[in-house]
Amino acid sequence: MLDVAVFSFLFLYMKSLHLCMQIHETAFIVSTYRSYHESVSKDIYAKLWNNPKTEALIPDILNSVSSKEAILHSLRNRFFYENLQSFFKKNSGGTLINFGAGFSMYQFLLDPTVSTIEIDKEDIIEYKRKRIHFWTIEGKLPKRDTSYISFDFNHDSAETMVNELKKMIHQKPIFIVLEGVLFFLDQKVTHKLFKVFEDIQSAGDLVGSVSYIPEIEKTNVYKRLLHYFNSHNSTNDSFAHQTIPTSYYTQINGYRLKEHTHEYELSKLYTPDAQIDNPNDILNEHLYLLERV
Ligand SMILES: C[S@@+](CC[C@H](N)C(=O)[O-])C[C@H]1O[C@@H](n2cnc3c(N)ncnc32)[C@H](O)[C@@H]1O
């Protein structure tokens, strides 16, 4: 997906936001996509993150990779929105832990009884924490119990993450979201994250995960994505371009695969008029719900 294409290579100094630090532009792009299709994504707060620099990048991405990227990201958000709503309603509260949270705003759409822990790299987390604080004081966001912690999934150990998170979790059950992140990680790190999930969750808790299946590597749209990435990567940052077979999700220790869908299928459900005719023409991410057993 496009969040992928721009991930490591676009760092913008957010001077337009009066902030002199570097931020992964990909999180801004995904959030802007959600704001373009609010009725699909249900994310009425995404637009708070919109800024001219990000909006200037988007037309080129939609033209050179796929025009459906914004709607697909909105469908992805809708999938998690619906599942988070039903999980926390059924359980009268609990904790949402968002790994690689970027500028996701789920907690502001959920019941105030839900606590949220947001995890990302330090620059994103510190920026997000400050903006959310400010917008809450201004009354642009409802008050929510949100904590923030920065990890680098590549470098922090499973033990560090488990110990830190256990101190922060005050209410159960736990719904973990891992959305738009796995493409950037390798298999070893993916495995480490699922070990962390297993250690902090209890039976009945859920993990929602997103990844590409390996078959996408043969499609032209995916080749365009990689080409776009390669031609815009000015930082020499390398990452895994990970794809994951669905069978991986059926074999994770401590979990059973409860639900599997993909964005093409979701488009038929939520946006039948979006003119998405063939799953091979889009960057069709697969979405999984896993239940801790
Ligand atoms: C495309 S954004 C997705 C953000 C959000 N989950 C969403 O769907 O809107 C990818 C996020 O993963 C985070 N990320 C990527 N690699 C990471 C790592 N090694 N450690 C922590 N966060 C990472 C990025 O900082 C970024 O916020």
Nearest CA to ligand 1 atom 9: 104
CA distance 253 to 292: 9
Kindly tell me if the per-residue pLDDT of 18 is higher than 70: no
Instruction: Judge whether residue 130 has pLDDT over 70.
Output: yes
pLDDT digits (tens, 9 = 90+) for 218-231: 999 999 998 887 77
pLDDT at site 234: 52
**What is residue 9's predicted lDDT score, i.e. its pLDDT?**
34
Residues with CB under 6 A from ligand 1: 3, 24, 26-27, 30-31, 100-102, 104, 120-121, 124, 151-154, 179-181, 184
Q: Is the pLDDT of residue 144 over 60?
A: yes
Domain membership of residue 221 as a residue range: 2-292
Spatial neighbors of 41 by CB under 8 A, at least 6 apart, are 33, 34, 35, 73, 74, 75, 77, 78, 81
The number of domains in the chain is 1
72 and 1 in contact (C-beta within 8 Å)?
yes
At 228-252, the pLDDT tens digits run 877 776 555 567 789 999 999 999 9
- C-alpha of residue 9 to centroid of ligand 1, in Å: 13
- Cα of 103 from ligand 1 centre, angstroms: 9
Query: Locate tokens 């004081």: which residue?
Result: 137
DSSP E strands, 43-133: 94-99, 114-120
Predicted TM-score of the model (pTM): 0.92
The answer to whether 186 touches 242, Cβ cutoff 8 Å, is yes
Strand ranges of the sheet holding 255-262, from the earlier edge strand across to the other edge: 145-150, 114-120, 94-99, 174-178, 206-211, 286-292, 255-262
CATH number, domain of 63, equals 3.40.50.150
Give, using CA atoms, the residue closest to atom 20 of ligand 1.
Answer: 152
Tell me: the pLDDT tens digits for 156-203?
A: 999 999 999 999 999 999 999 999 999 999 999 999 999 999 999 999
88-116 mean pLDDT: 97
